[in-house]
A and B are shown apart, each in its own frame.
Chain A
């Protein structure tokens, strides 16, 4: 595991979300006031782009599509969220922010896994 420089600390103002790419891997950096978090760019619910659609306020990250929320301080899901966010480890050194992004964190995809439905039985089923 190696630390990669993501950005300057001042590149992400408080309560802002910014998207960066390191080693070909996209991640979102959140400045929640108490520190920084880095996570994959898509909501684990339905793949919403969190950088565009999430709101960061009072230490709480909220995806505006279905109001799933995560506490940035503890890193845990809260409210109606059903899945945890995955985080890259981050650290501040000097004026810069570093993260460990050796490989992309991915959520288990729970759709598109069902059997093919287009056999003859499908259209003749009761």
Chain B
């Protein structure tokens, strides 16, 4: 087709509903605000890992849908989550990313969270335990026992990740939320305690869903000649995508030929427990969480949407807590050679989504974003994105391809395809 004018460019593509989306879902600020409420505040988010707060009174702070969250480990070793907000005047209680409440703070006591502003103090269970001059100021009208922190639903699950959900009344726990999507890596993550071995973050000028999309199809790897001759064998492109309830997708394993990688060594001996040597699973959790179990290392990406056109991505790498120093050094090298800021493939993905972000700024001209490839639910198939946007549409009650319209079911699987593994309800044709 020749180049198109505005009307032709805006016309619906010759594909079925569910096989494309309107680019406004990546750029519209009203839709973005609605996503925070309907998706991010309703989902279970793995906000950190228990090894980031290993000792009693350790804490880690984070953000879900602009709400500041603090996770603390109590003297009973239990991890709890609260809004990181003082009930007095709404001050952020703790501003550090992580640390310990065991030592005294400038205006507070040991073993307590203390608001810097007026020194209200809280214990590790969120009880308010001290209001300075309570009697003088409030007489008997207000008691600290009524001024506890806002507790959040919190579960440590799947290898020690700390999952938080802002919705008190969610119908899910972490396991039912995952709906089977984590089962393929669960036994490897749960075999023995994990430990954080890598952390970095990137703030990218693109919508968070674009990062999810790039993890949902792997055929961009096919375009890199380098990949096709160095380790990504035919089996790589036969990896099967499976869709699960709540919008999750996982990608089945294959055996990586590390000996064909430049500067890479075989990872078989260091591969995770309950994982065949050099295998690689990936799990995409709705709406913005990604687990990669690749031989000797686990990677977890957490997206934090900052605006319609900006996302913070935190990249964490994990080894085994029992690692010897030598094994740990190898795992770190394995992690960084692929996924470090100067690794083999991470920057390519970041360049991809940053380029998309440039074309999809708020109020930019809408266009069609296509994900209509059907190739047997393997790597070249875009079922991952179609499934994600069906769930997105249902939860948002908007039609991804025309977001001013209410949701109706689109096509996820080709009619010749059997239903993907793990899916109990299915929106698309061919279910």
Give the interface of A toward B (CB within 8 A).
Answer: 42-43, 45-49, 52-53, 65-66, 111-112, 114, 117-118, 122-124
Pick from B109-117, B201-209, B262-270, B419-427 the stretch touching chain A: B109-117
Which residues of the other chain, A, contact B91 by a CB distance below 8 angstroms?
none
Give the interface of B toward A (CB within 8 A).
Answer: 74-76, 80, 104, 107-112, 121, 123-125, 127, 129-130, 132, 151, 153-154, 168-169
User: At the interface, is chain A mostly helix, strand, loop or mixed?
Assistant: loop
B125→A66 contact, CB < 8 A: no
State A49–B102 Cα separation when bound (angstroms). Answer: 11
Q: Can you give 29 contacting A-B residue pairs, CB < 8 Å?
A: A42-B110, A45-B109, A46-B109, A46-B112, A46-B121, A46-B130, A47-B109, A47-B111, A48-B110, A52-B104, A65-B107, A65-B108, A65-B109, A66-B130, A66-B132, A111-B127, A111-B129, A112-B74, A112-B75, A112-B76, A112-B123, A114-B125, A117-B125, A117-B151, A118-B80, A122-B151, A123-B153, A123-B168, A123-B169
State A112–B168 Cα separation when bound (angstroms). Answer: 23
CB distance from B226 to the nearest CB of A (A): 50
Which residues of the other chain, A, contact B168 by a CB distance below 8 angstroms?
123-124
Nearest B residue to A109 via CB reads: B75
A114→B127 contact, CB < 8 A: yes
CB distance from A119 to the nearest CB of B (A): 12
- Count how many pairs of residues, one from A and one from B, have CB atoms less than 8 Å apart in the complex: 49
State A43–B130 Cα separation when bound (angstroms). Answer: 14
A111→B123 contact, CB < 8 A: yes
Nearest B residue to A53 via CB reads: B104
State A52–B112 Cα separation when bound (angstroms). Answer: 17
B125→A46 contact, CB < 8 A: no
CB distance from A52 to the nearest CB of B (A): 7
Which residues of the other chain, B, contact A48 by a CB distance below 8 angstroms?
104, 109-110
Which residues of the other chain, B, contact A49 by a CB distance below 8 angstroms?
104, 110
Which residues of the other chain, B, contact A123 by a CB distance below 8 angstroms?
151, 153, 168-169
CB distance from A13 to the nearest CB of B (A): 24
User: At the interface, is chain B mostly helix, strand, loop or mixed?
Assistant: loop
CB distance from A85 to the nearest CB of B (A): 16
State A122–B126 Cα separation when bound (angstroms). Answer: 13
State A17–B166 Cα separation when bound (angstroms). Answer: 47
Nearest A residue to B124 via CB reads: A112
State A117–B78 Cα separation when bound (angstroms). Answer: 12
State A53–B123 Cα separation when bound (angstroms). Answer: 20
State A114–B124 Cα separation when bound (angstroms). Answer: 12
State A47–B109 Cα separation when bound (angstroms). Answer: 7
State A66–B107 Cα separation when bound (angstroms). Answer: 10
Nearest B residue to A65 via CB reads: B109
4 nearest interchain CB pairs? A46-B109, A123-B168, A48-B109, A47-B110
Which residues of the other chain, A, contact B104 by a CB distance below 8 angstroms?
48-49, 52-53, 65
Which residues of the other chain, A, contact B153 by a CB distance below 8 angstroms?
123
Which residues of the other chain, B, contact A53 by a CB distance below 8 angstroms?
104
CB distance from B122 to the nearest CB of A (A): 10
State A42–B124 Cα separation when bound (angstroms). Answer: 19
CB distance from B82 to the nearest CB of A (A): 11
CB distance from A116 to the nearest CB of B (A): 8
State A47–B108 Cα separation when bound (angstroms). Answer: 10
Nearest A residue to B154 via CB reads: A118
State A113–B3 Cα separation when bound (angstroms). Answer: 72
State A118–B104 Cα separation when bound (angstroms). Answer: 27
Which residues of the other chain, B, contact A118 by a CB distance below 8 angstroms?
80, 151, 154
CB distance from A44 to the nearest CB of B (A): 12
Which residues of the other chain, B, contact A124 by a CB distance below 8 angstroms?
168-169
Which residues of the other chain, A, contact B125 by a CB distance below 8 angstroms?
112, 114, 117
State A112–B125 Cα separation when bound (angstroms). Answer: 7
State A118–B110 Cα separation when bound (angstroms). Answer: 24
**A45-B109, A47-B109, A112-B125 given. 13 additional CB < 8 A pairs?**
A46-B110, A46-B112, A48-B109, A48-B110, A52-B104, A65-B104, A66-B132, A111-B123, A112-B124, A117-B125, A123-B153, A123-B168, A124-B168
CB distance from A104 to the nearest CB of B (A): 17
Most chain A beta-carbon neighbours within 10 Å: one of B104, B130, B168: B104
Nearest A residue to B74 via CB reads: A112
Which residues of the other chain, A, contact B111 by a CB distance below 8 angstroms?
46-47
State A94–B123 Cα separation when bound (angstroms). Answer: 46
State A33–B169 Cα separation when bound (angstroms). Answer: 62
CB distance from A115 to the nearest CB of B (A): 10
CB distance from B146 to the nearest CB of A (A): 14
Most chain A beta-carbon neighbours within 10 Å: one of B109, B111, B151: B109
Most chain B beta-carbon neighbours within 10 Å: one of A42, A65, A122: A65
State A65–B109 Cα separation when bound (angstroms). Answer: 7
Which residues of the other chain, A, contact B80 by a CB distance below 8 angstroms?
118
State A45–B107 Cα separation when bound (angstroms). Answer: 14
Which residues of the other chain, A, contact B121 by a CB distance below 8 angstroms?
46
State A46–B122 Cα separation when bound (angstroms). Answer: 11
State A45–B129 Cα separation when bound (angstroms). Answer: 10
